[in-house]
Amino acid sequence: MIKARVSLIFVLFSLFLFAQKEKEVPLLKVLNSIEKNFNIKFSFSEEVIKNKSIKLNDKQELLSVIISQIESRTGLEVKKINDRYYTITQKTDNIKICGYIFDEKSNTALADAAVFTKTKGVGTDTKGYFELKGLKAKDTVTFSFVGYEEIKKVVAELNQTKCSKIYIKEASHTLNEIIISSYLTTGIAKNSDGSIVLTPRKQGVLPGLTEADVLLSTQQLPGIQSPIENASGIHIRGGAPDQNLILFDGIKLYNTSHFFGSISAFNPYVVDNVKVYKNASNVKYGNHVSGVIDIETMSDIPSQISAGAGFNFTNADVNTSFPIGEKLGVQFSFRRSISDLLDTPTFDKLSQKVFQNTVLDEGKVLAEEQPFIEDENNFSFLDFNTKVIFKPNDNNTISLQQIRVKNDLKYILVNNNENERRFDFIDIQNEGYGITWDKIWSANFSQKTNINYTNYKLFYDGNKKRDNFIYNLTTKNNEIKEVSFSTIFNQKLNDISALNFGYQFTNSNISYRLVQENDGFSNLLNEDRKSNNQQTLLAEYVLSKDKKYNVNVGVRASYMPLLDKTFFEPRLYGRLRLFPSFWINASAEMKQQYTSKIIEFFTSDFGLENELWAISNGVEIPVLKSKQVTFGVLFDKKGWLIDAEAYFREIDGLTTLATGFDNTNGEEIFNGSARVIGADFLIKKKWTNNFSSWVSYTIGENESDFSGFNEGGKFNGNFNISNAVYVAQQMKFGNFEMSLGWTFRSGLPFSDIVDSGFNDDQIRLQRLANINGRTLPNFHRLDASASYDFYWSKKRKVKSKIGVSFINIYDRKNILRRSYEKEFVVDPNTSEQTDGITTVDTFSLGFTPNVVFRVQF
């Protein structure tokens, strides 16, 4: 016994010497010494103790105490079988890991990198540090950062006695890199090519949003606004919503929202990332003159089954992703409105905004006064998407993707006393299908090929009938069928440069029809199905070195047989780091677009969908063309971020349809141009890892010029916002997160209307004067959101989230736009009926609460 004690003291003294030198002793060596000195045997797998080292208290000589120290400092579990034999296994629960994530090449820490398992996740701080608790030995931990290759490790493989260093490398097929990893909040990053990437499932809580709504989240970015408070009404630096290109897994969508623009048509819980370009977009994006929003879902085969379900006060959804073997994976999501099942305050507020000044609004008033009654009032929306990924080997990936978006509304109002019936029906749907093949030919050469199909349909039928005689009728039809093919090659020339080149083909078929009959006035606008083919050759040279500089030079050459013309679209973007924390950037580009919307300036029907997609014919509807230049600066140091960009844009080929008022010939199409000049500013301060503030400011001028309008003079664009300010705060306390944001912007322009007397048929004429020469009152509102994540049990298999949001907390009554309608005025003295005019104001959302609850398995 004395000999054993002397030997143990010698072992512990050796360990003490190692500790003095701040060196740990390999666990295997310690176990061998303990076996020898206590005459016991340990049974373990070499994988369990691999790479593990420990420090022991040199004053301990009891076996039980030494074993306890081994357990606490290694995360292992030592079980006694009998007096001689012990087993060593990995603890199955409540394991803690920590570490630092670095760029493999530059050895720099990566802030806001994602570290997550199936049920939990965290982001790294400014030093690249992370910490996860309550894990199991068999849990898989994923280390991810935008633009880098994901790596996965099992908890049992990680050294739990000290914080590991994890090195990840940039994706080999791209030279894009992250410049700012937490642009506004976690899950929003800025790339070196000027694009901004949103990752909805990692995104922090933003003011007014219960969930990371894809399109509403983009409106938090400087220079992106929705003047009429719509999710899909996105104006990027003065451009109109129809001038943006919105893709879902490569499929172009012409309807991107539900409930007439109120809600995005994309389930954020299946979206991997959203890439937003405000300027100098990649040459692979064509047929647009404003911004790009590129949405991507699952990009790899899931490692395990996961599912989620939830609801808020407008819709409910389910989603799942699961592997089928090692080479096949599936993702699916379905979402539907709940308005026909449950009346909620959120839906009521949205309805008040959406349906104001429409036949539904008028019908409710008539129904209250009797003898009209609502015979039917049904509204619903849904969206679902599927993706299948097949990866036969490391060099080939094939994916099939599908999406369907549908909105329906049917409204019937009857007056049995007068045998009168008013009927309104609208159906809007967009479906798309695609197949993608990613091929890696070598370490430096890859190819991506897409074939996509999209089908958009808008149908509206509205009529007023008395004694089976229709005295008011409006019918609208709009349909788009589009097939596209694209194959793009990426040749990595060396560590700092690459060449992208490829070919694209698009066939678009578009038709529209507008019929209006009202009290003897008739109007017909008809375009039989028109087809357009566009063939494009594209090339881009990319030069990028760490964070020092980045240059993208590209060109598109597109031929349109319909017009027998070739269009060239050169694009240039450059960024240069002048100082360690200071960059400058500039861009110049020319773009063209052959599908766009024609807008009815005045509409007397349903009043919601007053836009029709049309194809350029080179005459009444010319090809849209734009030129844009930008210059900006970027500063990022010690939690401070300053991003400022000035821009100038010219757009030619705008088309407007005017119906009614002094246009007695029925319909007339006007063409014009726009000039946009402005600047965006963002100042953000990250006070701590859990508290940040930012202020964004946009100043701009949008001036239009339409021959035949405003007596030939230039006028403000319909959605010109000269000044806009946004102030936000975001805080996080453990699993609780909240944000607060205040918006202020100048009012939108509107026109005066004047009386032009009577025509030869004694019909009173009114016309707009000084178009958009006046401005509505300023717009402002305060929004807030909060969410809390929790688990149902200690096993942490089921994660839940509950959240609330409040829009327009102080219930400001903002006027979004002002228009005019005809009305009949009866003189009380003579009882004569004359034509009159009334002012119609459209108001913003009032105080609107929302609640979300989700469960993730």
What is the model's pLDDT at position 678?
Answer: 95
Q: Does the pLDDT of residue 2 top 60, yes or no?
A: no
What is the model's pLDDT at position 322?
Answer: 93
Of 516, 514, 512, 426, the closest CA to residue 464 belongs to 516
Retrieve residue 96's tokens: 């803690």
- On whether the CB atoms of residues 801 and 736 are closer than 8 A, the answer is no
- On whether the CB atoms of residues 371 and 417 are closer than 8 A, the answer is yes
**156 shares its domain with 35:** no
Neighbour tally for 845: CB within 10 Å: 21
CATH code, domain with 135? 2.60.40.1120
What is the model's pLDDT at position 599?
Answer: 62
Find which of 143-152, 457-466, 778-787 is predicted with most confidence, using mean pLDDT.
778-787
Angle subtended at Cα 481 by Cα 476 and Cα 485, rounded to the nearest 5 degrees:
155
Could you tell me the pLDDT band of residue 769, with boundaries at 50, 70 and 90?
confident
The residue from 30, 61, 90 where one domain ends is 90
Alpha carbons 398 and 388: distance in angstroms, whole number? 8
CATH code, domain with 86? 3.55.50.30
> What is the mean pLDDT of the segment spanning 811-817?
93
What is the model's pLDDT at position 767?
Answer: 61
Q: Does the pLDDT of residue 440 top 90, yes or no?
A: yes
344's torsion region: left (phi>0), alpha (psi -120 to 50) or beta? beta
**137 shares its domain with 112:** yes
What is the model's pLDDT at position 21?
Answer: 41
- On whether the CB atoms of residues 7 and 37 are closer than 8 A, the answer is yes
**45 shares its domain with 154:** no
Distance of CA 459 to the CA centre of its chain: 27
- Residue type at position 776: L
Q: Is residue 533 part of a domain?
A: yes
Q: Is residue 430 part of a domain?
A: yes
Q: Is residue 624 part of a domain?
A: yes
Retrieve residue 69's tokens: 């120290």
**425 shares its domain with 515:** yes
The residue from 40, 58, 90 where one domain ends is 90
**23 shares its domain with 163:** no
Q: Does the pLDDT of residue 547 top 90, yes or no?
A: no
| H or E element, residue 797 | none
Q: Is residue 496 part of a domain?
A: yes
> What is the mean pLDDT of the segment spanning 719-736?
92
SS3 call for 307: strand
Q: Does the pLDDT of residue 741 top 50, yes or no?
A: yes
Which one is predicted more confidently, 335 or 12?
335
> What is the mean pLDDT of the segment spanning 126-139?
81
Report in angstroms the alpha-carbon separations of 797 from 11, 92, 682, 831, 857: 43, 14, 40, 75, 6
**56 shares its domain with 158:** no
Condensed to tens digits (0 to 9), the pLDDT of residues 319-332 reads 999 999 889 999 99
Of 772, 799, 645, the closest CA to residue 716 belongs to 772
**535 shares its domain with 646:** yes
Neighbour tally for 226: CB within 10 Å: 18
Distance of CA 78 to the CA centre of its chain: 49
Alpha carbons 462 and 263: distance in angstroms, whole number? 24
Which one is predicted more confidently, 464 or 266?
266
Condensed to tens digits (0 to 9), the pLDDT of residues 572-596 reads 999 999 998 999 999 999 999 998 8
**633 shares its domain with 739:** yes
Q: How many domains does the chain have?
A: 3
What is the model's pLDDT at position 105?
Answer: 73
Alpha carbons 296 and 551: distance in angstroms, whole number? 25
Condensed to tens digits (0 to 9), the pLDDT of residues 231-283 reads 888 999 988 889 999 999 999 999 999 988 889 999 999 999 999 999 889 99
Q: Does the pLDDT of residue 779 top 90, yes or no?
A: yes
Alpha carbons 23 and 615: distance in angstroms, whole number? 73
The residue from 90, 106, 138 where one domain ends is 90
What is the model's pLDDT at position 147?
Answer: 67
What is the model's pLDDT at position 313?
Answer: 94
Q: Is residue 818 part of a domain?
A: yes
CA 275, 276, 282, 287 dihedral sign is positive
Condensed to tens digits (0 to 9), the pLDDT of residues 356-384 reads 877 777 766 666 666 778 777 788 999 99
Condensed to tens digits (0 to 9), the pLDDT of residues 133-178 reads 878 777 788 888 866 788 888 887 776 657 888 898 876 545 557 7
For the question of whether the overall pTM of this predicted structure is more than 0.85, the answer is no
Range of the domain at 148: 91-171
Q: Is residue 590 part of a domain?
A: yes
Retrieve residue 744's tokens: 């202020």
Convert 150-164 to b/e letters by CB count within 10 Å (16 or more is b). eeebebbebbbbeeb
Q: Is residue 574 part of a domain?
A: yes
Q: Does the pLDDT of residue 731 top 90, yes or no?
A: yes
Q: Does the pLDDT of residue 341 top 90, yes or no?
A: no
What is the model's pLDDT at position 826?
Answer: 57
Alpha carbons 107 and 128: distance in angstroms, whole number? 11
> What is the mean pLDDT of the segment spanning 748-775?
68
What is the model's pLDDT at position 602?
Answer: 40
**43 shares its domain with 148:** no
What is the model's pLDDT at position 157?
Answer: 72
Q: Does the pLDDT of residue 823 top 90, yes or no?
A: no
Backbone angles phi, psi at 345, to 5 degrees: -65, -30
Condensed to tens digits (0 to 9), the pLDDT of residues 664-692 reads 334 467 788 899 999 999 999 999 888 99
**29 shares its domain with 153:** no
**115 shares its domain with 48:** no
What is the residue-averaged pLDDT of the chain? 84
Condensed to tens digits (0 to 9), the pLDDT of residues 29-43 reads 888 888 888 888 888
> What is the mean pLDDT of the segment spanning 109-132?
81
Q: Is residue 29 part of a domain?
A: yes
What is the model's pLDDT at position 721?
Answer: 92
What is the model's pLDDT at position 832?
Answer: 64
SS3 call for 696: strand
Kindly report which listed range (56-60, 203-207, 219-223, 229-233) carries the lowest average pLDDT score.
56-60
What is the model's pLDDT at position 4?
Answer: 45
- Residue type at position 818: R
**15 shares its domain with 164:** no
Q: Does the pLDDT of residue 9 top 80, yes or no?
A: no
Q: Does the pLDDT of residue 228 top 70, yes or no?
A: yes
